[in-house]
Chain A
C-alpha cells in the first residue's frame, strides 16, 4: 500500500533506529548509574530507577497492544487483563516463595482464616514454574478468547467492547476474596525475589534494567517479525480481511498467533511491573486502565512500534511528574491531549512532523488506519 512504503521508506526505520539507540543507551546507563556510579553527581537514585523501570514496562505493554492494533487492526480495550495476569502470577510466586522458604505468612491467609493456600497456588515457589505460568496462562486465555471470537468473525467495535467486559468480569472476580487471590487487598508484602531483598537498592536497579532490556528485546524482535512475511500478512489482514479470505488465505491463525503473542508480551510487562511497585490489586483490571493503554498507543502513533513506545513513555512520564506537583490537573491534561490527538492528529505524534514540514501535502486520510 502506498502508505506502507511511504512510511517505511521515510519515517519508520529512522525513528525505530532512534528508539533502539535510546534503549541500548538506557540498558547500559541504568545499571551503571544506579550501581557503581550511584553516589556520583549523575547517579541514579533508587526512586528514579524505579520510575524508569515502570515506564519501560508500560512501554512494553503499549508495544504489545500496538502489535495487534496498529498492525493487525484488532483493537483490544482489555489488555489490562494480560498485564494483570502476569502481575498476579509473579506475585503468587513471590508470596509463595516467601512463605515456603522464608516463613512469612501471606496476609490473605491470615484474614481469611486459611491454614494453607488454595490448590492453584501449588508449585509457585519455584521460579521456573512461575515463568512457565506467565507464558502459558495469558497465552491460553488469549488463545481461548481469540479463537472463539475470530472464528465467529467478531471484530472491530464489538470485539473491543467485549474485551472491556472481559476485563471487567475478571476484575469483579478478583475483588472477591474467596477466589484466593487476595481480593480487594490484592497481594503485597513481598520480601524477596530470586533470593534478593525486594526493596534493596540492587533489586530496584536490577528490575529497572531488566525492564528496559525486555523492552529492547521485544522491540527488536517484533520489528523483525513485522518485516517478515508474517508481518506483511498481518498488515494485509488489517487492511482488508475479506479480500484476503477470498484470495484463499486462512486469516484465523495469523490473527490468533499475533493475539497470543501480544497477550504474552503484556503479561511479561506485568510480571516486571509488579515487583517494582510492590503491590498488585484488582484495580489493574479496571476497564478505565485498559482504555488508557489504547490512549498511549493512539497518542504515539499506531502505525509504528516506536510510536507506541514513545507514546507510552511520554504519557507515563507526564503522569508521574504531574501527579506529584498538581494532581488535580492531570485528568484535564490527559483528556485534552487525547482530544487534540484524536481530532487533529489521526496517526498520533507520528503525524506531527509531516504536517509541520510538508505543508500542502495532507496526510490526513491517507495512511490512516481504522
Chain B
C-alpha cells in the first residue's frame, strides 16, 4: 500500500512539474539573456503553407546575421526565435502569445494568409506588441501594432487589373474570379467588383467562385472557366486568388486541358516563383502576377541579395532552393532591417519608441526601389511589378511603377 501510494504520488508530482516547468524555465531564461535581443517568427514549416512560408524563417535569420555582422542593434546581438504554427490559424495566435509573453521578443515577423494575421492581431493589440507582416493583402486594416510591409490592393491588384483592361494587356472585359474561401480573396473580389461597376462593366461580365483552402481538384472548375471564356462579350481573364498548394494544382489542370495564356490569361495574385517549382511552365508562358518584388528585377542590389541568399542556403543546409527568391522573402528581409534601423534611431526596443521612430525611415530594397515609411500610418511604400511567367518558372518584368505609390489602407471600392 505504501509503495503504491508513493508511486502514485510520484506520478502526480511528475505531471505537476511537467506543467510547471515552462514557468520555471522562463524565469531562469529571463535571468540569463541580457546580451541578446530576440525577434520572433510565425511562419509555418508544415501544412499547406509550408512550401512558401518556410523560407521566410531562413531569410529572417539571414537578415539577422547581416545585422549582427555589423555589430548588432544597440550593442546587442539579434536572435531569431522560430516556431511552427503548422498552417493552423489558431496556433499562430497561441504561438504569438508564447513569443510575446514567454520569450519576450522585441518584435514578431509573421503570417502569410490574412486569416493567420487576423488571428494574431488581437494578441499583438492586447500586448501592445509589433507584428511585421510581409505579404500583400486586402487592406481594410490599419492597426498601430502591425507594420504592413507589403502592398494593399491599391498598389497591387488594381494596377494589374488596369493593365489587363488596357489595350496592351488585351482589353479584358470579362472576369472569372476564382479564390480560396477566406477573407483576402473575398475582400479583393469585393473591391474589384466595385471598381468594375465604376468602369461601367455589367455584372453579367463577371463570375465569382470559391474553393476551400487547400482544394486540389480543379477539373470541373476549369471546364466552367472554358465555358465562360467561350461566351461572347470580350476578352476573358481569370483573377486567381487561390493560395498555397492550390496554385500549382490549378495550373496543372490548365495545362492538361490545353488552355494557353493567349486564350485565357490568368492573373495569379498570390502566385510566386516557388509555386511553379514542380511544373513545366512552357505551356504556361504569359500568365501574370503582381508583386512588389520579382526575382528578375534588375540592379546590383538584387544581384547581391540573390547571391547572399544562395550562399546562405549552401552554408546552412537550408531545405529550399538557393536559386529562387520570392517577394515575401524580400519583404521579411526589409522588415528586419527596418526594425533594426528604427530601434537604433529610437535608442530603445520599446514598441512605442520603435513605432514612432519608423516614420521617415528609408531602406534600399533589393527590388531596386527605396522603400520608406511615413508618420501617417504603419504602411511601407514600395514599388509595383507586373510579371509574366516564362519557361523557366520565373517571371519576366512586363511593367514596373516609376516610383513607390502611396498605399491606400481603406479602399474606396468596398461597399458597406
Residues B15 and A189 in contact, CB atoms below 8 Å apart = no
A279 close to B93 (CB less than 8 A): yes
Interface residues in A, total, Cβ within 8 A = 54
Asked if residues B8 and A277 are in contact (CB atoms below 8 Å), the reply is: no
Q: How many A-B residue pairs have CB under 8 A?
A: 137
B88 within 8 A of A: yes
Contact A47 B7 (CB under 8 A): no
Query: Could you tell me if B140 and A184 are in contact, using CB atoms closer than 8 angstroms?
Result: no
Please, how many angstroms separate the alpha-carbon atoms of A105 and B44 in the complex?
30
Q: Are B102 and A47 in contact (CB-based, < 8 A)? A: yes
Q: Which residue of B lies closest to A310 (CB)?
A: B15
Q: Which of B3, B5, B7, B12 makes the CB contact (< 8 A) with A22?
A: B12
- Is there an interface contact between B123 and A278, defined as CB atoms closer than 8 Å? yes
Question: In the complex, are the beta carbons of B122 and A199 less than 8 A apart?
Answer: yes
User: Within the assembled complex, what's the spacing in Å between the Cα atoms of A307 and B70?
Assistant: 56
* A107 at interface, CB cutoff 8 A: yes
Bound together, the chains give a CA A135 to CA B5 distance in angstroms of 39
Check A18–B182 contact: CB distance below 8 A: no
Q: Say whether B230 faces chain A, with CB atoms less than 8 Å apart.
A: no
Cα-based distance from A277 to B85 in the complex (angstroms) = 14
Contacts of A324 in B (CB 8 A): 22, 83, 98, 102
Residues of B within 8 A of A318 (CB): 18
Is B181 a contact partner of A175 (Cβ separation < 8 A)? Answer: yes
- A18 and B4 CA atoms in complex are apart in Å by 13
Which residues of chain A have C-beta atoms less than 8 A from B180's C-beta?
A: 184
Q: Among A15, A22, A175, A321, which residue has its beta carbon within 8 angstroms of that of B22?
A: A321
With contact pairs A111-B138, A313-B15 given, residues A327 and B119 touching in the complex (Cβ less than 8 Å): no
Q: Please name all residues of chain A whose beta carbon is closer than 8 Å to the beta carbon of B119 when the two chains form the complex.
A: 186, 188, 278-279, 281
* B98–A357 CB distance below 8 A: no
Q: Identify the closest chain B residue to A330 (Cβ).
A: B84
- Of B60-68, B183-191, B275-283, B332-340, which stretch is located at the interface? B183-191
Q: Does B121 interact with chain A (Cβ within 8 Å)? A: yes
Residue of A nearest to B138 (CB): A111
Q: Which residues of chain B come closer than 8 Å to A172, judged between CB atoms?
A: 212
Which residues, 174 to 228 on A, are CB-close (under 8 Å) to B? 175-177, 183-186, 188-190, 199
A248 at the interface (CB under 8 A from B): no
* B142 interface residue (CB < 8 Å to A): no
Query: Does A110 sit at the interface, judged by CB under 8 A?
Result: yes
Q: C-beta contact mask, A289-318 vs B, less than 8 Å → 1, else 0?
A: 000000000000000000000100110011
**B3: min CB distance to chain A, Å:** 7
A175 to B214, CA, bound (A): 11
**Which residues of B (192-249) have their CB < 8 Å from a CB of A?**
210, 212-213
Q: Which residue of A lies closest to B7 (CB)?
A: A353
Contact of A110 (CB < 8 Å), options: B5, B18, B140: B140
Query: Please, what's the 1-or-0 string for B337-369, where 1 marks a CB less than 8 Å from any CB in chain A?
Result: 000000000000000000000000000000000
Interface stretch (choices A68-76, A112-120, A122-130, A250-258): A112-120
CB of B19 within 8 Å of the partner chain: yes
Q: A97 an interface residue at 8 Å Cβ cutoff?
A: no
| Chain A residues positioned under 8 Å from B101 (CB to CB) | 45-47
B159 within 8 A of A: no
Q: Is B94 an interface residue (CB 8 A)?
A: yes
Nearest residue (CB) in B for A321 is B22
- Asked if A145 is an interface residue, CB under 8 A from chain B, the answer is no
Bound: A109/B414 CA distance, A: 12
Q: Using Cβ atoms and an 8 Å threshold, which residues of chain B touch A183? A: 181-182
Other A-B pairs beyond A281-B89, A283-B89, A353-B8, 8, CB < 8 Å: A52-B19, A184-B115, A184-B212, A185-B114, A185-B115, A278-B93, A278-B122, A317-B18
Give the 5 A-B residue pairs with the shortest CB-CB distance, closest first.
A199-B126, A184-B182, A327-B84, A47-B101, A185-B115
Chain A contact residues, CB within 8 Å of chain B? 14-15, 18, 22, 45-48, 50-52, 55, 107, 109-115, 172, 175-177, 183-186, 188-190, 199, 277-281, 283-284, 310, 313-314, 317-318, 320-321, 323-324, 327-328, 349, 353, 356-357
